[in-house]
Amino acid sequence: MIKRTANLEISFSDEQAMILDSAKDFCRDKSDITTVRSLLKSETGYKNDVWAEMIALGWTGLALPEQYGGSGMGVGATIPLVESMGRHLLCTPFITSTIASQAILRGGTEDQKSRWLPSIVEGAIAAMAMLDNEDWGATQIRCTLTPKDGGFVLEGKKLQVNDAAKADLFLVLASSNGAPTLVLVEATALPQGAISNNTLVDETKRASNVDFSGVTVKADAILAKGFEALHDVRLIGALLTATEATGTAAAALDTLVGYLTTRKQFGRLIGSYQALKHPTVDILLQMDSARTLIYHAATLINDASLNKDTEIACRMAKAQATDALLFAGDRSVQFHGGMGFTYDCDAMLYIRRAQWAQHQYGDAQHHRKLLAPLLLD
């Protein structure tokens, strides 16, 4: 019998600790629950001045090399920030742009990287346009890229493109001669009416459908190693979604504990009842398990192509974290009683985030399905 020895490495660097300290204070101060609720119906879901401060702090360049204006700390350095954002429901284009910038870094030519990565560090918003339908496991790419008049033309629509309405650049997943590739499309190239906003279950988030039909690009807009980068981008997207979800699970737990330790029924604090104690502890266990897996993945990830151990770590983190948030959100709603089902209860925000996070970059079932052959084949 052959035994597989897992890579169990995990670390938390001084740089990550420094970022966590700054991020916790920043997100707490800029995104209290009143502010979060005030932005639910806004156009972008975030304040421009908060996004500008994040850019000024250099956070948009955390994961990018110094030669492009970044800090050279890698994707792992973004984890404490994204977790803090999730805990305070602070939504900006940070996650969207970080994922897209990694696609360019890992799949672009030197000219493509030199042109776009410094702009992203300075605050340009880049978005991944990947879904042709709601299934992250779909293998058929309906959006096509075909030669035309010395260049190329795109045909097809992409669904649920995060932060599309404010994006300066899209990375479009398209099929070229039957092979997947990533194409750089500037927002200025889109025809009027190409972007149609979606109504999302998580009202703190913004996403749109984008019709790229008829958009023409030159050969230098096609990522040189788009197919290779696609594998890494999906895993990084899953990891950052997991990280944000774990932060939100912590917020749901805080809210729940606050309620259980103040609300009384039959002359007793409801937190004293065993039927509520045990599930609350289960939330903590699931949440901290997810955090461990996330920092394990963050330890393994680097600027090179992601290997098998890193893929396993990212998929485990996504499956565990989004399930943990779904459980935390559900218990938070249920334990608040009838009030938990109302719009005014903060538990509503967490269960909606849980439902959204489940389906970003594949739900838990999707990642478990892909984990099986990695472990057993």
Please state the φ and ψ torsions of residue 62, each to the nearest 5 degrees.
Answer: -55, -45
If pLDDT is split at 50, 70 and 90, which confidence band does 6 have?
low
| Nearby residues of 101 by Cβ (< 8 Å), 6 or more positions away | 63, 64, 116, 117, 120, 126
Under a CB-based contact definition with an 8 Å cutoff, are residues 315 and 293 in contact?
A: no
Q: What is the pLDDT of residue 112?
A: 97
Domain boundaries for CATH 1.10.540.10 within the chain: 14-124
pLDDT tens, 35-62?
999 999 999 999 999 999 999 999 999 9
pTM above 0.85?
yes
**The CATH number fitting domain 127-224, selected from 2.60.40.10, 2.40.50.140, 3.40.1190.10, 2.40.110.10:** 2.40.110.10
Start and end residues for every CATH 2.40.110.10 domain found in the chain: 127-224
What confidence score (pLDDT) does residue 11 get? Answer: 85
In the CATH scheme, what architecture does the domain 227-376 have? Answer: Up-down Bundle (1.20)
pLDDT category at 97 given cuts 50, 70, 90 is very high
CATH 1.20.140.10 range(s) for the chain read 227-376
Q: Kind and range of the H or E element at 116? A: helix 110-121
CA neighbor of 218 nearest in space, from 317, 321, 115, 77: 115
Structure tokens at 257: 């504990």
Give the CATH number of domain 14-124; options: 1.10.540.10, 3.30.70.60, 3.60.40.10, 1.10.287.1080.
1.10.540.10
